[in-house]
Structures are given as C-alpha cells and as structure tokens.
Structure 1
Amino acid sequence: MTECLLKLCSNIPLAVVSGSDFQKVSSQIGTLATEKFSYIFSENGLVVHSYGQKIKSTNIIEHVGEEILQRFINFCLQYMSNLWLPRKRGNFIEFRNGLINVCPVGRSCSQEERDEFAKYDAKHKIREDFVMKMRSEFHSSPLEFAIGGQISIDVFPKGWDKRYCLQFLKDYDTIHFFGDKTKEGGNDYEIFNDPRTIGHTVTSPENTEAQLKALFPEYC
C-alpha cells in the first residue's frame, strides 16, 4: 500500500485526512510518505502539514471553552465506568488539538484486543449507543460526534468534521476521497457526500490499493 502511494504522489497531489494526530498518521503510512504528500490533514484538518512541515494548527479549547469540555469529559468517564466489555485497558479519552477521541476499550489496547473490541462493537453497538447518549446529553452544545476507526469516537465542534480540510484544496478542480466510515454516523460520511468530492468507499488497505490502481493505472 505504501509503495503504491509513493508512486502516486510522484505524479499527482496526494493528501491524507484523519481524526488521528500527526504522529499516529505518520506511523500508519510511514515517515517518508508524510514528507512526500502534498498535505497531511490530521485531527480532521485542524492540524495541517505540507511535505512534512506544519503550516497550521487550531485548538478546540479556544472554540468550545473549558466548561463544556470538562462537563463532556466527566460525562464520558462516568458512562464508560458502567460499561462491561471483553477487555478494558488505558487511555480512554485522548485530548488533541482539534478534537477529543473517546475510546471505550482504551487506546493502549493491543492490536488483538482492538480487533476483539471491533467485533464485539459490531454486534453490540457499543459506540453507536454511546454516540446517541452524547447527542442527547449535549444536543444544545457546539459539539458533534462521529464513530471513527475500529475502536473510538471523534468529538469536535460542529462544522469541524473532515470537510474542514477542503478549505485548503480550493485550487483543485477534482478531489477523490477514499474512506471506510462513509455511512451516516461515520467520520467519513460528510466529506464522502460533499459535492466538492468524488467519494469512494473502501474496505481495507488492499481494497484501497486496488481502487487506486483501477483509477490511476498509469501511475501505480
């Protein structure tokens, strides 16, 4: 997958948008890729790197305020304390520049435990129910909630979903977006359905690579 992306970025502009922080994105796609990509939009685009250099950063505290954030964090900790899961580890709430990442199983879980939770969550709708509670409790707040990745929930100010990154791409006539959480409630849904993008649903890194090769055969 990384080899395919490196070949592509030698010929066409590539960008990554993720709810994860820059360090996590870099570990997933490789340091070399982050230095060659036109943009890395971490934390939904609230932190922007171009060819490995940070060019912009926005902080959620300045927009939402300490009182709402503390009330939300306290609510999540209490809710998760009453959940019984196959495993619980550590780092249940991760505070980032542009969003809060809430993880019922804990982000310090192993890959095996991550996969186990993903299967359990698919059956028991742990995150889906949690998001419904968040929306009910904080319906009048400036916060939005979206299921992201295998194990967590992204929380950010309304309007700060992945579409936030599109403001940096106004000079591009055609933007292809590839994401796996493209159904309503997923953190790819809004940008996938935005009229400024051509959306592609993917199911795995292998499937993503196959779609890229089909779309850009001369560059892969």
Structure 2
Amino acid sequence: MSRKIICLFDVDGTITKPRQPISPSIEKFLLETVRKEFDIAVVGGSDLNKIQEQLGTENLFEKYKYIFAENGLIAFKDGKALPSQSIQDMMGEDVLQDFINFVLRYISELNLPFKRGTFVEFRTGMMNISPTGRNCSKKEREQFYEYDSEHHVREKFIQALKKEFPDLALTYSIGGQISFDVFPIGWDKTYCLRHIQGYDEIHFFGDKTAEGGNDHEIYESDLTIGHRVTCPKDTVNQLNVLIALVKENREKELSVPLQCV
C-alpha cells in the first residue's frame, strides 16, 4: 500500500521571497506537479490577510488542503475554519499590557538607522514585534536585515524580554527580516500538527530551521520529516527529489510478487 503523504510549507523564504507574492512558476509547480502526488498545505506565522496577499485570494482554499495562519491558531481544512485560541485569553489583559508597555519603552530607546510604523502587531495567537517597524519598504527591510545580522538587535531584544518577564511561559521566535514573534510555549508551528490527521508522513519545508528560528520546532518534531531549504528554488529541487524517491518506492512495491500462503 502506498503511504499517504502531505507536504507542509512555510511561506516566507520557502515558497515565496520574504513578504513577496508567490511566483507563477512556483505556484504552477506546486499545483500541477506536487499536488498530483501529495496533498499540500501551508503554515505561516503571519495573519491570514498577509498569507492571502502572498498566495492570492482567488480559490486559495481550494489550492491547499490546509491553510494555517499564525502558526495554526487560525486554521482551515478544505476551506472550513477550525477551532482557535487567543493570546489575550491565555495571558490576561493586565499582563499583556505590562508586556506591550515594556516593548514600546525598549523600542523608544533604540538607536537604529531608521524607524517606521507598527512596532507591535497584535494577532490572534501571538504578537509580532518589529524594532524598526513593519511599515518599512522592501529596500528598508533588506537594510535592516543586514544591520541586524551585524548588531543582533532582535536577539538582544529577546534577551531583555526574557530577563524582564522570566515567569511568563512564552516563546520568542525570529523569522523574516525585520521582526520576531512572541507566543505561548507550545504555540509554535507544531501547533498546526494537531489538525493534520490521516497521513503516514508529514514532510515540512522551511528556511528558518536553526534554533531560535520560527521553523525550528516543527522541523525538529518527531511528527514531521523536516527539509531545510534556502529559497523557493531550493524547495522545488528538494520536492523533485522527494517525488522521484516516492515513485521509485512505489515501483519497488509493485514489482514484489504476490505470495500465496
């Protein structure tokens, strides 16, 4: 019997360039080649609107078996919404405001090459914190990413938060170019796996798989077979290898003669 397989993709850096729309060639490959062999799904840390901006709104829920926004806190299967939870219910309003107030004070004291708007983006299952502000341009995103690679602004910010709030059961996860996510422990991308049922193998593809990256936990999970990728082109290459291996195994299964007992 052939094994039932689903391929689960991170969005930014895996099937799209950071915060950019999916290219027609990548989408065509996923829908016309990969989907013939496996079910496909996506999981992103961003909210649903941002995922729709990148993957398109037309027939989106028909293209992917599952769509997971905010690490799976917002989840859809075959276009139908699945149960969700909220970070404010978990943390409580008083603690949440103390946390946000500290974040804004910390950012106000940072000296960066530039600052724009939307430093804290409040989502259903997490907060997204950007020291430079999410309203920066594509060029500014790249500039900040280079600056952060040298000065480790986000890493230092996270260490300050851990020191200030040692008793909060929160995970801090760096993803993309300008921000990091904050969410309750266990609400990383492995959260989405509770919704995926009926498969022999879940193959996860992501680019931020190192410790501290927002693909790390799901990449390392015992429930997935992890694939570390560097860009959408690398994702395509690794998918071609996977498809070839699966076809080879199926051919071997078919070539085994039936034995009568």
Range of TM-score over shorter length? over 0.9
Unaligned runs of 5+ in 2: 1-25, 248-261
Amino acid at match of 1:136: K
Task: Determine the structure 2 residue equivalent to 1:99.
Answer: 126
Residue 143 of structure 1 and its aligned partner are, at CA, apart by 1.7
Does residue 25 (structure 1) correspond to residue 51 (structure 2)? The answer is yes
- The whole-number CA distance in structure 2 between the counterparts of 1:114 and 1:47 is 26
- The whole-number CA distance in structure 2 between the counterparts of 1:103 and 1:184 is 19
* Alignment match of 2:62 (pick from 30, 35, 39): 35
Residue 21 of structure 1 and its aligned partner are, at CA, apart by 0.4
Bigger radius of gyration, 1 or 2? 2
- 1:127-164 superposed Cα distances (whole Å, 9 cap, x missing partner): 11111111111120122211111111100011111111
Tell me how large the CA RMSD over aligned residues is: 1.6
Task: Determine the structure 2 residue equivalent to 1:6.
Answer: 31
SS of the residue aligned with 1:177? strand
Residue 2 of structure 1 and its aligned partner are, at CA, apart by 1.5
- The whole-number CA distance in structure 1 between the counterparts of 2:139 and 2:61 is 27
TM-score (norm 2): 0.79
Does residue 111 (structure 1) correspond to residue 129 (structure 2)? The answer is no
Residue 33 of structure 1 and its aligned partner are, at CA, apart by 4.1
SS of the residue aligned with 2:76? strand
- Structure 1 residues 68 and 36: alpha-carbon distance in aligned structure 2, compared to 1, 3 A threshold: same
- The whole-number CA distance in structure 1 between the counterparts of 2:205 and 2:110 is 33
Residue 48 of structure 1 and its aligned partner are, at CA, apart by 0.2
**Is the contact between residue 2 and residue 30 of structure 1 (CA under 8 Å) also seen in structure 2?**
no
**Is the contact between residue 6 and residue 33 of structure 1 (CA under 8 Å) also seen in structure 2?**
no
**Is the contact between residue 38 and residue 51 of structure 1 (CA under 8 Å) also seen in structure 2?**
yes
Taking only the aligned residue pairs, the percentage that are identical comes to 50
Residue 190 of structure 1 and its aligned partner are, at CA, apart by 0.8
- The whole-number CA distance in structure 1 between the counterparts of 2:71 and 2:171 is 13
Amino acid at match of 1:23: N
**Is the contact between residue 116 and residue 132 of structure 2 (CA under 8 Å) also seen in structure 1?**
yes
- The whole-number CA distance in structure 1 between the counterparts of 2:110 and 2:72 is 31
SS of the residue aligned with 1:69? helix
Alignment: residue pair count: 219
**Is the contact between residue 37 and residue 243 of structure 2 (CA under 8 Å) also seen in structure 1?**
no
- The whole-number CA distance in structure 2 between the counterparts of 1:78 and 1:199 is 38
- The whole-number CA distance in structure 2 between the counterparts of 1:137 and 1:110 is 31
Unaligned runs of 5+ in 1: none
Does residue 123 (structure 1) correspond to residue 150 (structure 2)? The answer is yes
Task: Determine the structure 1 residue equivalent to 2:253.
Answer: none
Amino acid at match of 1:78: R
* Alignment match of 1:52 (pick from 68, 72, 79): 79
- The whole-number CA distance in structure 2 between the counterparts of 1:107 and 1:51 is 31
Residue 213 of structure 1 and its aligned partner are, at CA, apart by 2.1
Amino acid at match of 1:3: K
- The whole-number CA distance in structure 1 between the counterparts of 2:61 and 2:27 is 11
- The whole-number CA distance in structure 2 between the counterparts of 1:85 and 1:207 is 33
Task: Determine the structure 2 residue equivalent to 1:202.
Answer: 229
- The whole-number CA distance in structure 2 between the counterparts of 1:47 and 1:216 is 29
SS of the residue aligned with 1:104? coil
